[in-house]
Chains A and B, each alone.
Chain A
Amino acid sequence: MDFVPGGELSRRIREGDVSAESELIRQFEPGLRVLLRRRTGGDHGLLQDLVQETLLVVIQRLRGAGIEDPQKLAAFAAQTARNLAIASLRKAERQKTDVDTDATDRNADPAQNVDAIAADIEAALAVRALLRELPQARDRLMLKRFYLDDHDKHVICQEMDLSEAAFNQALSRARKRFREILEERGFAKRDLLSLGL
């Protein structure tokens, strides 16, 4: 594992160094997004809220009591995010039983809904563009089987008469192009911007 300056960051934050807090956000935000994306079922709004809430909890803790082992700052942040995700899930479960649908509709914020769905839609647009660009039907089918049908790589290679090297090469090309499309369309930066970074 790479060196994480958890102890150093913790010390600087405790001493009131605001730039250390920004560093911590830059360091942890991508990982928190991965962790929470898995636990928020595509709800982009909730994902954003939980990322911010986690960072807030971690920073407040470091400003105050600090953590027992500052070298385990990443583990502490990850566990905080998991706990917040579980709490949010429980809250949503409780609310399911007594939702006033009319009131929910009346108070719905269209702008927020748009924002909530935007990230996945952007990914879908990029995927659609990617699929159009892929020269061979075989590559498109391969992506579907690998990502959607969760077929094992070896099984796909065997059934599609592909070497593993050819499979990995096609997959790598698709990933690279997907990332480029998102970046070309400015979709890659949106999440960072929403955090004000």
Chain B
Amino acid sequence: MNLQHIEQYVAGRLGEEESCAFEEYCLANPEFARQAEYEQRLKAGLAIVARGSTAEFVRSDSHQARWNFAAAAGVLLTLFAMYYVWGHHAARAAKPLMAAVATDSQRSGPALRLAMVRGSENAPVLPDGSVRVEIVGLFDLGSHYSVALDRLERNTYDTVATLYSQHPTSPVTLEVMVESDQLKPGTYSLRVRKQASGEESLDFSFVRF
């Protein structure tokens, strides 16, 4: 058995007998089985991402500048829209789902620290209430950052809140407030991106029970 068999099995191209032989080989060879499982997970992950948007696959590097311009225009438009909506609905709006850290009292409440930890075994759990989320990374104090909160479903992910123009509190931390009680149970991801730059975003997942 070799990689070609894994590809054929995952693609569903093996016949009944061949599939049975492949599966028994996997049981007898745990490391080979792990390789096959990574292949299955890669395919499943690609399928989920594609259900959200196929744009991720066809993004062209040569059009980066155009995308940056479009993103900047989008940010401005979104900021204007947010200002307009908030202005009209402030009276009846509850606390926003996500906001900048504004007061000292917020610093003494519940907090969650999100960091990329090699070998981390469990997704962190968001506590109840108004939670100060401390995002650990390398930040440029002179730059603005956008923070997007995605809710991850089985087949897709929806952005439930986005903050723009956030300043890091230190070269290694950026903080936002998240209203945990307004989030449905599920898996979420915070995406932090340096605005007006081509840098990749930092993704941090957590769970809300």
Q: Which residues of A contact B (CB under 8 A)?
A: 1-2, 4, 26-35, 37-38, 42, 74-75, 77-78, 110-111, 113-114, 117-129, 131-133, 135-137, 140-141, 143-144, 147-148, 150, 174-175, 178-179, 182-186, 189-190, 193
Cα-based distance from A168 to B56 in the complex (angstroms): 21
Q: Is B27 a contact partner of A123 (Cβ separation < 8 A)?
A: no
Residue from A143, A185, A189 having most chain B Cβ neighbours under 10 A: A185
Cα-based distance from A168 to B207 in the complex (angstroms): 37
Bitwise, B126-169 to A at CB < 8 A (1) or not (0) is 00000000000000000000000000111001000000000000
Q: Is B152 a contact partner of A110 (Cβ separation < 8 A)?
A: no
The residues of B that contact A42 with a CB separation of less than 8 Å are 44, 154
Given A175-B39, A190-B122, A121 and B152 contact (CB-CB distance below 8 Å): yes
Given A117-B152, A144-B54, A148-B46, A4 and B36 contact (CB-CB distance below 8 Å): no
Q: Is A140 a contact partner of B26 (Cβ separation < 8 A)?
A: no
Q: Is B152 a contact partner of A77 (Cβ separation < 8 A)?
A: no
The residues of A that contact B20 with a CB separation of less than 8 Å are 78
Cα-based distance from A82 to B185 in the complex (angstroms): 33
User: B2 near A: Cβ within 8 Å?
Assistant: no
Q: Is A184 a contact partner of B28 (Cβ separation < 8 A)?
A: no
Residue from A75, A140, A147, A148 having most chain B Cβ neighbours under 10 A: A147
Cα-based distance from A7 to B174 in the complex (angstroms): 58
The residues of B that contact A32 with a CB separation of less than 8 Å are 27
Q: Is B48 a contact partner of A123 (Cβ separation < 8 A)?
A: yes
Q: Is B121 a contact partner of A124 (Cβ separation < 8 A)?
A: no
A130 to chain B, nearest CB (A): 8
A17 to chain B, nearest CB (A): 20
The residues of B that contact A110 with a CB separation of less than 8 Å are 185-186, 209
User: B107 near A: Cβ within 8 Å?
Assistant: no
The residues of B that contact A127 with a CB separation of less than 8 Å are 42, 45-46, 48-49
The residues of A that contact B113 with a CB separation of less than 8 Å are none
